[in-house]
Structure 1
């Protein structure tokens, strides 16, 4: 009897509601962006960024006694939840969850299944407004079905303007990406909580701008650090860094956040183009709920939404083991779906060696081609460099009579201090090569130069047979055979050779 009475008492006792504590935004945030190394020399695709970021947040949270759910709103929409590290909670965590369902017209209906809502109708002819209670019996997938005192009906199938009103936002829905955790505390406390996690949808790039001197011997070289994000969350006043180097990282599959639309199935007095997604309002706190985040834009649209901002700040370089860390000295905003640039380096006088390069098939008997302008240097202080150069794109100008003129673009590869730097710039139509045949296996290559200054040239012989030259010396470099020569101003240089086919 006593056991039965105790059991009845326990069943009759009310179950204590779980506390929900929401942190709407971080007090401080740091963003460290890592490059997508798989793209090689290609520029980041601003519609599909495959780099990632380490987000570090600090939040002050009042934790009540007992078990509570802490909701971290405003995290990155590309958060990788399994990477999250949460510190500063004295008694630890019970569990953690990423809330992937965002507030939208469809998710409101889906979360209201079996619940009572208010159905408001407006007669288009008289303007009369009526309302009644209804119970949601079917969700957004195949049309919304409601049960009222009059029976079962489908939303928007009466010919009247209809909308649904909710007295509250259903639990578990948020207008912004959210990470939630469950904690226990013996007594109420105020905790400074640190949240760190990885997020996809970020990348960065070095963009170089250079002006070539008239004698083609020096460069004025500047570089910008371009940060890009396709995330839906903006990080305002963030301490921001970029990391260069190869970091071993395993791929992680993360389902995207969902904000389902509400699709209605009938339009008795309208056309299909007139009926779209219905946006229910809410009476929660007397104001409508915030709109859901926009879905990912198509590629053509997103390219127009990317915003580029520039700054005269210069990133400070630090060594991080085998990696290079570029720290932006002032807090900046890493905006949602945007691109930002800050200064990376400014080298006023970099010594370069211009070379006009040709690639010749040794078996060719008649051919003509333009030279490729290549600028070479060595990454050391004596040449005006001497600092790590992250990979990026170079836009090259030459001093003109009144203003600099664009002469080409190139790719800069990662170059450590002491390594060679090579920039393949543009095709030079004024420096050309012409191959002729003077016998069964005899050949001649003539380099012409219409410039008023002499130029250095190199000819790479590839495939087609073994090249034999009398009275001239060829250079072998990286397993390839080259003829190196100087072509006089407004003059020519000729090499005769024989080819023995394999």
Structure 2
């Protein structure tokens, strides 16, 4: 069903004399986007004000604007331009809202079979519209809404608008042209970093290509804007506001277009050119491209599946047979990086024998300062299998136990490998004996580094005592 507004008339009834300002050429637009689904918009415009009270309307603003954050000021002469009142009008026109405004008023209905009904609207619901040619003498028509082609209204009722509109009542001491600044916060626009890592054939280095992905669902276009991105997590109070991105299989290499600077406790990335971000658009812009970053591939086995100590229920406990595969590199200048990395998803590729890039896994990174190590979990190894057993369990006293564990790694690859075996401890613990040296990672975790020959296996055997 189409709704046709034949005449759009907006009536303003105020006491006193007002000038209505409509033409406001845009002189500049800046948008700062945070990776928390929020953005700060700064809009510069010129406006001609009459002496006395003026009504200023701006319609091309975000529909998800936070109306309490709106700020308006004259940059030309703030002292001679005073804000009296500010409103955000968002009662947007719809078929039911139009009908509700036209109860007891005359409308015209045209059906799909070209019948025309004209009369006073008495009532409506989701299925029918009831109109009377004459309120007293009739006749009365009940028109099925599914059969309606058009409804014609004489005009747009007062209070309904076609776009979200900011309205100011401004008092000017002179007739003059002003450069004004309009700023506000809006939801519905977000950004993230997406990374593509390409491993070298020998798996000793990687290239890292980063793109900024901006997703605009704020209800407004931002044309020819200066764009800045803030990486970091600002604190936001929960607010009431009026009112999934596609995956990329491959990103082409491109020249970086952002300048990074430290800003307060965050990092800011400024685009070195203007760009347009349309509503309902996903835009991608190159952030950086770095080659030959030294990397390390790690195999890690964590066989424990239970979350608490088993006491005497130790027989038949399940274990995890899979060995995880990680790649690790350092975000340092020596590696070719050494820059703050915004949080985002890293997709990892490697070329096959035909020089065709194949996807091998993905992981996400958090905001990462320079000189920190990055470790990505990209999958589990097909040809490496882990096994974990409790060989012996002893109860020494009511709260002291001794357990002997055997962790076996079987390597079915045609090359030797190194595997990190992670073991979790309980209570007040100590290792009584072990056939391999271990490293204490934290208060309840130890690590064994073992070498497994090609087509062979290696077992770690150790006994621990727990005071619980």
TM-score computed with the length of structure 1 as normaliser = 0.74
Asked whether the 8 Å contact 2:90–2:161 carries over to 1, the reply is: no
Deviations 1:266-321 (A, max 9, x none): xxxxxxxxxxxxxxxxxxxxxxxxxxxxxxxxxxxx879xxxx9994632212212
Which structure 2 residues correspond to residues 453-468 of structure 1 after superposition, within 5 A? Answer: 453-463=415-425, 467-468=431-432
The match for 1:321 is 264
Deviations 1:131-179 (A, max 9, x none): 6xx5666688997666754538798616896965344433443322211
Asked whether the 8 Å contact 1:446–1:493 carries over to 2, the reply is: yes
Further displaced range: 204-213 or 158-167: 158-167
What is the CA–CA distance in structure 2 between the aligned matches of 1:166 and 1:199, rounded to whole Å?
33
Deviations 1:3-28 (A, max 9, x none): xxxxxxxxxxx964533323577443
The alignment status of 1:34 with 2:11, answered yes or no, reads: no
Asked whether the 8 Å contact 1:366–1:437 carries over to 2, the reply is: no
C-alpha displacement at 1:128, in angstroms?
7.4
Which ranges in structure 1 are unaligned for 5 or more consecutive residues? 1-13, 37-50, 257-301
Asked whether the 8 Å contact 2:120–2:135 carries over to 1, the reply is: no
User: Secondary structure of 1:157's match?
Assistant: strand
The match for 1:295 is none
The match for 2:199 is 212
Asked whether the 8 Å contact 1:354–1:456 carries over to 2, the reply is: no
What is the CA–CA distance in structure 1 between the aligned matches of 2:220 and 2:137, rounded to whole Å?
41
The match for 1:470 is 434
Asked whether the 8 Å contact 2:33–2:189 carries over to 1, the reply is: yes
Asked whether the 8 Å contact 2:303–2:386 carries over to 1, the reply is: no
The match for 2:302 is 359
Which structure 2 residues correspond to residues 201-240 of structure 1 after superposition, within 5 A? Answer: 201-240=188-227
Asked whether the 8 Å contact 1:459–1:482 carries over to 2, the reply is: yes
The alignment status of 1:397 with 2:362, answered yes or no, reads: no
- Paired residues in the alignment total 422
Asked whether the 8 Å contact 1:355–1:455 carries over to 2, the reply is: no
The alignment status of 1:151 with 2:115, answered yes or no, reads: no
Which structure 2 residues correspond to residues 15-414 of structure 1 after superposition, within 5 A? Answer: 16=16, 18-22=18-22, 26-36=26-36, 51-88=37-74, 90-112=80-102, 117-119=106-108, 124=113, 149-151=134-136, 157=142, 164-256=151-243, 312=254, 314-361=257-304, 367=319, 369-402=321-354, 403-414=356-367
What is the CA–CA distance in structure 1 between the aligned matches of 2:128 and 2:290, rounded to whole Å?
63
Deviations 1:84-112 (A, max 9, x none): 11121641200111101112223334445
Asked whether the 8 Å contact 1:457–1:486 carries over to 2, the reply is: yes
User: Secondary structure of 1:119's match?
Assistant: strand
User: Secondary structure of 2:96's match?
Assistant: helix
C-alpha displacement at 1:432, in angstroms?
2.2
What is the CA–CA distance in structure 2 between the aligned matches of 1:372 and 1:174, rounded to whole Å?
58
What is the CA–CA distance in structure 1 between the aligned matches of 2:215 and 2:102, rounded to whole Å?
38
TM-score computed with the length of structure 2 as normaliser = 0.79
Are the structure 2 counterparts of residues 329 and 453 from structure 1 closer, same or farther at C-alpha, using a change threshold of 3 Å?
farther
Deviations 1:403-451 (A, max 9, x none): 1211111121221012221111111122222234555544322223233
Are the structure 2 counterparts of residues 370 and 165 from structure 1 closer, same or farther at C-alpha, using a change threshold of 3 Å?
closer
The match for 2:405 is 443
Are the structure 2 counterparts of residues 17 and 139 from structure 1 closer, same or farther at C-alpha, using a change threshold of 3 Å?
farther
Asked whether the 8 Å contact 1:23–1:73 carries over to 2, the reply is: no
Are the structure 2 counterparts of residues 334 and 369 from structure 1 closer, same or farther at C-alpha, using a change threshold of 3 Å?
same
C-alpha displacement at 1:186, in angstroms?
3.3
Are the structure 2 counterparts of residues 459 and 491 from structure 1 closer, same or farther at C-alpha, using a change threshold of 3 Å?
same
Asked whether the 8 Å contact 2:228–2:271 carries over to 1, the reply is: yes
Asked whether the 8 Å contact 2:83–2:171 carries over to 1, the reply is: yes
The match for 2:456 is 491
CA RMSD of superposed structures (Å): 3.5
C-alpha displacement at 1:490, in angstroms?
3.7
The match for 2:4 is none
What is the CA–CA distance in structure 1 between the aligned matches of 2:139 and 2:193, rounded to whole Å?
56
What is the CA–CA distance in structure 2 between the aligned matches of 1:437 and 1:128, rounded to whole Å?
85
Are the structure 2 counterparts of residues 185 and 152 from structure 1 closer, same or farther at C-alpha, using a change threshold of 3 Å?
farther
What is the CA–CA distance in structure 2 between the aligned matches of 1:389 and 1:122, rounded to whole Å?
60
Are the structure 2 counterparts of residues 32 and 360 from structure 1 closer, same or farther at C-alpha, using a change threshold of 3 Å?
same
Which ranges in structure 2 are unaligned for 5 or more consecutive residues? 1-13, 394-402
Asked whether the 8 Å contact 1:360–1:462 carries over to 2, the reply is: no
What is the CA–CA distance in structure 1 between the aligned matches of 2:269 and 2:172, rounded to whole Å?
40
What is the CA–CA distance in structure 2 between the aligned matches of 1:155 and 1:184, rounded to whole Å?
51
